[in-house]
Amino acid sequence: MMTSQPEISQLADHLFQHESGRLIAVLTRIFGIENLELAQDVVQDALVEAIHHWQYKGVPDNPSAWLFRVAKNKAVNQINSNRKKIHYSSNVIHYLQSKWTVAPALEHFFSEEEIHDDVLRMIFACCQYGWYRSSPAVR
């Protein structure tokens, strides 16, 4: 069953509002806070792919899970192709050293429990950064 472009756009908007923060949080843990823009790019690429793919193939039964899977696959591709160019977060770097460990590690990082923890880490990081920037000693 084909889905209309306005319906797909509304669904993409909904997913962006409700899932992009969770995706960016887990990808930031993987890539490191210094690569926040890369995490945002991966999420945007996954959403663009969703819009194009769903236009022709239809919307999957679980669009949120589809989006997470595509983002995870894009993260694997980024890691494998940019292993030597990008410095990744030090607390997960040992998982990203080998093509054999990247996929299982990302499977773990994309688990619901880990995503929840990553969202809390991101909130803390944003609060800490906001406090740091607003501190008179920094100005």
- Confidence (pLDDT) at 4: 76
- Confidence (pLDDT) at 102: 79
- Confidence (pLDDT) at 9: 87
User: Domain range for residue 10?
Assistant: 5-134
Domain-embedded: residue 53? yes
Domain-embedded: residue 126? yes
- Counting as low any pLDDT under 50, the low residues of the chain are 132, 135, 137-139
The Cα 16–Cα 13 span in angstroms is 5
Of the CA atoms within 13 Å of residue 127, those in its CB half-sphere come to 6
Q: How high does pLDDT run on average in the chain?
A: 83
- Confidence (pLDDT) at 139: 46
- Confidence (pLDDT) at 138: 45
Domain-embedded: residue 139? no
Tens digits of residue pLDDT in 114-127: 889 988 888 888 78
- Confidence (pLDDT) at 42: 95
- Confidence (pLDDT) at 53: 92
What is the number of structural domains in the chain?
1
- Confidence (pLDDT) at 89: 65
Domain-embedded: residue 39? yes
- Confidence (pLDDT) at 129: 64
Domain-embedded: residue 129? yes
